[in-house]
Amino acid sequence: MQIVRSCSKLGLTLASILILLLGLAGVAHGRSKTRLVSSYEDEPCMKMTVYYHDILYNGSNNTANATAAAATNPTALSTAVTSNGTYFGMLVVFDDVVTAEQALSSEPVARAQGFYFYDRKEVLNAWFAFSLVFNSTAHKGTLNLMGADLMSEKTRDLSVVGGTGDFFMARGVATISADSFEGFFYFRLKMLIKLYECYV
């Protein structure tokens, strides 16, 4: 009976130490943040509007200003299906400026770093995966976004699937709309970001 009591006490002591160590590990990794979830389904815990500027390298004289470049050419299928081509299969890698104001010359608040590719053979359609990298006095950290850019729609949603720093484990939606474009080599997206799960 004495041995059973000793083993039971030892088991409780080890369990207590394990729980304490796991708690300390969470604090050491910055995970002691409080989770905020919106009390109402349509009310975000954080909201911001930013403008994403993409300047595609045109193959000639815009090397100083270009922030994006095609990593692959469109497939032959893109011109075989439609006479004007849909860029089907073309992959673009970017390191784009993100501003709080519409003007490209306004103060940057983040960089959008990632890629998009054209994934529909009949009409223009793209799929995005990128991080918004914030390094300003207002915010530090990243927001990670991904999803389909259904270009025929006036507005479309990309999923906010996570984040770091000020946006640790964030979840939400970024509603994007084409705000401006100049031919094939420049476009600006207005992004209304609503986070429904925040940690502070």
Which amino acid belongs to residue 54? D
Look up the pTM and report it. 0.77
Could you give the CA distance from residue 40 to residue 101 in angstroms, rounded to a whole number?
Answer: 29
Q: Is the CB of residue 94 less than 8 Å from the CB of residue 115?
A: yes
Where does the pLDDT of residue 79 fall: very low under 50, low under 70, confident under 90, or very high at 90 and above? Answer: confident
Per residue in 87-111, pLDDT (tens digit) is: 899 999 999 999 999 999 999 999 9
Q: Is the CB of residue 88 less than 8 Å from the CB of residue 121?
A: yes
Per residue in 117-164, pLDDT (tens digit) is: 999 888 889 999 999 999 888 899 999 999 999 988 999 999 999 999
Which H or E element spans position 10? helix 2-28
Query: Cβ atoms within 10 A of the Cβ of 142, count?
Result: 23
Which amino acid belongs to residue 74? P
